[in-house]
Amino acid sequence: MGTTTGGIWVLAEQEAGALLPVAFELLARGRKLADAAAAELVAVVLGESLAEDELRRLVRAGADTVLAVESPVLAHFLVEPYAACLARLVRERDPAVFLAAATSTGRTAMPYLAALVHTGLTADCTELDIDAGTGQLLQTRPAIGGNILATIRTPDHRPQMATVRPHSGPRAPEVPGRPGRIEHLTPAAGDLASRMRRIGFTPAADAVSLADAERVVVTGRGLRKAENLPLVQGLAEALGAAVGGTRDVVDRGWLEYPHQIGLSGKTISPRLYVGAGVSGAIQHLAGMQTSEHIVAVNSDPDAQIFRLAELGVVGDMHEVLPVLTRKLRARAGQGGGEA
């Protein structure tokens, strides 16, 4: 199965044979670590039958080697065969570092893998670096409810494993002609056994996916009650945006958990973030602070959200949002397109 030993590994996720954007976010982080450690960067991708040009994208984005593990059983994520295939690769090739995204796949597969290979795992990291003195991976993540940042090491076990919050860093650019090799691997039959089977998939009913949306309208406790949600949804519709909420909003049952943004929810990095009635608790800010443009509407001029906002409106969201929505819709009508 080859002789690649050591190095910095990243798990590149795919869906229906197409690489997901988070794979390129991991490659950006992995390339930086590999350069600091003078190590090889290896991308591991599991799937059914992966097109050569799609795999070559990983090389163009920074991978020195791509390990493509292919079987019909791996077409869709199932934790037991995924973890077993990864564990075999880890035992045979002994990577120094193995990173994955803190997606539903990464958050499920990596703890399982860590248990199989008897190593540790740091979840939901926001920063990663290599200690120049020891060569150890420095894994930084929020702790104690997001009030401090903890840097964690794994001095005695390998690989050093971490999951990284999606949208917490840029994607690696693809450089045409960049050299690298691709290995197609066939997993052992015993590694494909599973006590679970996939019987179907129902996608989220949201018109716009929160994680990938370029525009997001987020509401907080200032919403006051669930019956006021149409205010937020109307603005989101006018902007072609997804709807998100703070933990308070989800805990009160005004929005469901998939809409939650923050340490205990999703991390987003849209081009436009509009916060309506969001105070800006540190746990929420950790999930949206990499947004390109931040607009905040809050009646409290001292709200924490204004420290990050590019444009702040001190006012009652229940008065501001209807006016803003009407003006956006009027502008879209005049221009014949999206607001």
Q: What was the pLDDT predicted at 70?
A: 94
What is the arithmetic mean of pLDDT over 154-159? 90
Q: What was the pLDDT predicted at 145?
A: 58
pLDDT digits (tens, 9 = 90+) for 73-128: 999 999 999 999 999 999 999 999 999 998 889 999 999 999 999 999 998 888 89
Looking at the predicted structure, is the pLDDT value of residue 65 above 50?
A: yes
Q: What percentage of residues in the chain have a pLDDT greater than 70? A: 94
Domains and CATH numbers, the chain: 8-192 (3.40.50.620), 215-335 (3.40.50.1220)
pLDDT digits (tens, 9 = 90+) for 308-330: 999 999 999 999 999 999 999 98
Largest CA distance in the chain: 65
pLDDT digits (tens, 9 = 90+) for 174-189: 999 999 999 999 999 9
- List of long-range contacts for 76-81, beta carbons under 8 Å, 24+ apart: 76/198, 76/201, 77/105, 77/108, 77/109, 78/194, 78/196, 78/197, 78/198, 79/108, 79/109, 79/112, 79/196, 80/112, 80/193, 80/194, 80/195, 80/196, 81/187, 81/191, 81/192, 81/193, 81/194
Looking at the predicted structure, is the pLDDT value of residue 227 above 60?
A: yes
Query: Band of the pLDDT at 165, cuts 50, 70, 90?
Result: confident
What is the arithmetic mean of pLDDT over 14-38? 92
Q: What was the pLDDT predicted at 9?
A: 97
Torsion of CA 311, 312, 315, 318, to 10 degrees: 60
Helices (H), 45-119: 52-60, 79-93, 104-117
